[in-house]
Amino acid sequence: MVDVLALVEARLRTALGDPDARAAVTFLGTDRVEVLRFQDDNQDGTVVRYATLGMSAQPMSDPTAMLADPVAGPRAELVLSVRGGLADTDKVLRPLAVLAASPQVEGVIVAPGASLDVGEPLWPGAPFTSVLVAEPGGLVEDLELDEPLDPVRFLPLLPMTPNEAAWKRVHGAQALQERWLTNGTDLRDPSRKSVPLD
């Protein structure tokens, strides 16, 4: 059987460089989830990227299915990008691991357009308790696996304020993303305010 996680880590390293830190979290009854941290220094300053490693070891299965298929089904890892040095964002490791374990724990399928809520600030003092799952393929390309396995998709997470999350429930993910775009919202700012929603 192919070692999916070794391939996933290789793809992350190709796209983001070598991680400068990693942490592992294990929840009762689930596989271990690691979170890798990558630093990207560019002319705009430092961007810190956190990527999960472990969520894609098992395919996500339909919560209504009687038995989970051990082979077929969507696979994904989560990627969060924030500006470095502005907040204690390293504390996001545990919330990220919780989200990555949610398909195993709660039987949910994490897909673009979904909202994921951790019920507490993503890091100390963060104005966000939830994230919007964005479309994959930008930062880290999908990882094709041998048939019959589905490819691993690397899903960007966009932090949402409680007001944005409530607005998104009514108007949809597309409308919220358009609102962010129209207002020039810096989605990597770890202490940004909610986008105007009226």
pLDDT tens-digit map of 67-95: 667 777 899 999 999 999 889 999 999 99
Tokens of 114: 């979904």
Q: What is the pLDDT of residue 41?
A: 84
Predicted confidence (pLDDT) at residue 113 exceeds the cutoff of 70: yes
CB 77 within 8 A of CB 56: yes
**Amino acid in position 150:** D
Phi, psi of 47 (to 5 degrees): -110, 130
Say which residue, 154 or 66, is predicted with more confidence.
154
Tens-digit pLDDT profile for residues 44-62:
789 999 999 999 998 998 7
Exposure letters 128-140 (e unless 16+ CB within 10 A, then b): bbbbbbbebeebb
